[in-house]
């Protein structure tokens, strides 16, 4: 803004805003034309998914973040550019994204945070169905929760990777705020509370302190809980704020999560590996026969090549007796030399190594 501009009335400021809006609109239209040109350069591809480039989108959003000097927050700036890119890509046709539905789940919020709103959302009933929709090519991508800062890993997601050929091609972090919702909005009327087991876990202390005598009923999603709460005055749901809007419920209390920094990480599932974005992560599934020092042997190649490990989770493979699988996240892309070398060393030391995906690190971690 030019420092010399000293408005004397509202009309004058609004005239400036109108002029800026005209410029912004012209530039957005021009950008959309160039995005279409990029599409043409990529060739006559079959579907929107063939034009999608997560590594380029991550680079664009990182540049937006680096350039931002306020007054809008990084989060707001990124959200606006995210929507512009989403609309530019949807000129071909909107991407189809499967998520754990119904409408109003945190997974749906994660879809919009990652892909913007110019997508076609496909709500499905279970995490397994999200995988199936992408595998069967009825969806281009899927979004599923993988870990929560209070409750830990989502095992139903991790276990799917034993047999699935899908690749992780992105991650989204979402601050999760839980609310107690009901039709009447009166806490005294509540006899049972529906929610997803993860959300019941994230609000355990609050429930103990405030609704200790009330029945807790685990259901498949928070939105399903909200749907049930709509059917009876005695029922309530624990869900996100958006479920209150979608299911026309009143907020009885909230936010009620036990930890104020409650956060869930979602992953984006696709069928292909994408190129490096410059700031990437790789997820691996590594297994080995139980023996003294197994974990030490598996991690040594990473340490030797200076590859940082950001997460490890062990799960029984449910195949061989005492055979464990380790879900390991490391810094870098499989095309990066240190990662390539560490994986080559790891091969002979393990029963198997499966690369679950290399993808841009979440731009905003909250």
Ligand X SMILES: O=C(O)C(=O)C[C@]1(C(=O)O)C=C[C@@H](O)C=C1
What minimum distance in Å lies between the beta carbon of 109 and ligand X?
20
52 is a contact residue toward ligand X (CB under 6 A): yes
171 is a contact residue toward ligand X (CB under 6 A): no
32 and 87 in contact (C-beta within 8 Å)?
A: yes
38 is a contact residue toward ligand X (CB under 6 A): yes
60 is a contact residue toward ligand X (CB under 6 A): yes
159 and 153 in contact (C-beta within 8 Å)?
A: no
Query: Residues 169, 105, 144, CA angle at the centre, nearest 5°?
Result: 25
**Which tokens belong to 189?**
């009327």
Identify the CA nearest to 315 among candidates 294, 296, 287, 292. Answer: 287
56 is a contact residue toward ligand X (CB under 6 A): yes
Q: Closer to ligand X at the Cβ: 88 or 168? A: 88
Q: Closer to ligand X at the Cβ: 36 or 177? A: 36
Over the range 39-57, which residues count as b (16 or more CB within 10 Å of their CB) and which as e?
beeeeeeeebbebbbbbeb
125 is a contact residue toward ligand X (CB under 6 A): no
Q: Closer to ligand X at the Cβ: 194 or 274? A: 274
Residues 86-105 within binding reach of ligand X (CB under 6 A)? 88-89
Q: Which stretch binds ligand X (CB under 6 A): 83-91, 113-121, 255-263, 264-272?
A: 83-91
What minimum distance in Å lies between the beta carbon of 149 and ligand X?
29
112 and 97 in contact (C-beta within 8 Å)?
A: no
364 is a contact residue toward ligand X (CB under 6 A): no
Q: Closer to ligand X at the Cβ: 60 or 214? A: 60
- Judged on CB neighbours under 10 Å (0-12, 13-18, 19+), 249 is buried
141 is a contact residue toward ligand X (CB under 6 A): no
Q: Which stretch binds ligand X (CB under 6 A): 56-64, 168-176, 205-213, 266-274?
A: 56-64
Question: What residues contact 184, with CB distance under 8 A and at least 6 apart?
Answer: 233, 250
- Judged on CB neighbours under 10 Å (0-12, 13-18, 19+), 95 is buried
Binding-site ranges for ligand X (CB under 6 A): 35, 38-39, 51-53, 56-57, 60, 85, 88-89
């Amino acid at each position: 803004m030019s420092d010399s501009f000293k408005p004397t009335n509202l009309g004058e400021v609004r005239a400036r805003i109108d002029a800026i809006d005209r410029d912004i609109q012209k530039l957005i239209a021009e950008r959309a034309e160039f995005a279409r040109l990029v599409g043409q350069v990529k060739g006559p591809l079959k579907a929107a998914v063939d034009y999608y480039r997560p590594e380029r989108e991550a680079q664009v959003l990182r540049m937006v973040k680096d350039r931002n000097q306020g007054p809008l927050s990084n989060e707001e700036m990124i959200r606006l550019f995210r929507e512009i890119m989403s609309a530019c890509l949807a000129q071909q046709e909107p991407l189809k994204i499967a998520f754990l539905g119904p409408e109003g789940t945190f997974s749906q919020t994660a879809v919009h945070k990652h892909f913007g709103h110019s997508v076609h959302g496909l709500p499905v009933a279970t995490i397994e169905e999200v995988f199936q929709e992408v595998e069967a090519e009825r969806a281009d991508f899927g979004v599923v929760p993988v870990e929560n800062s209070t409750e830990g890993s989502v095992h139903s997601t991790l276990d799917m990777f034993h047999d699935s050929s899908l690749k992780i091609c992105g991650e989204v972090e979402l601050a999760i705020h839980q609310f107690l919702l009901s039709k009447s909005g009166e806490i005294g009327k509540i006899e049972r509370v529906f929610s997803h087991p993860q959300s019941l876990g994230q609000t355990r202390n609050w429930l103990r302190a405030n609704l200790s005598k009330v029945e807790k009923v685990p259901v498949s999603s928070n939105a399903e809980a909200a749907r049930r709460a709509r059917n009876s005055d005695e029922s309530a749901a624990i869900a996100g704020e958006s479920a209150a809007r979608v299911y026309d419920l009143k907020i009885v209390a909230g936010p009620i999560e036990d930890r104020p920094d409650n956060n869930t990480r979602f992953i984006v599932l696709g069928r292909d590996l994408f190129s490096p974005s410059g700031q990437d992560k790789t997820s691996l599934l590594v297994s080995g026969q139980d023996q003294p020092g197994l974990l030490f042997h598996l991690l040594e190649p990473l340490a030797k090549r200076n590859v940082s490990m950001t997460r490890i989770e062990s799960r029984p493979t449910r195949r061989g007796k005492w055979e464990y699988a380790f879900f390991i996240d490391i810094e870098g892309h499989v095309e990066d030399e240190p990662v390539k070398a560490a994986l080559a060393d790891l091969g002979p030391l393990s029963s198997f190594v499966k690369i679950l995906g290399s993808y841009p690190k979440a731009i905003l971690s909250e």
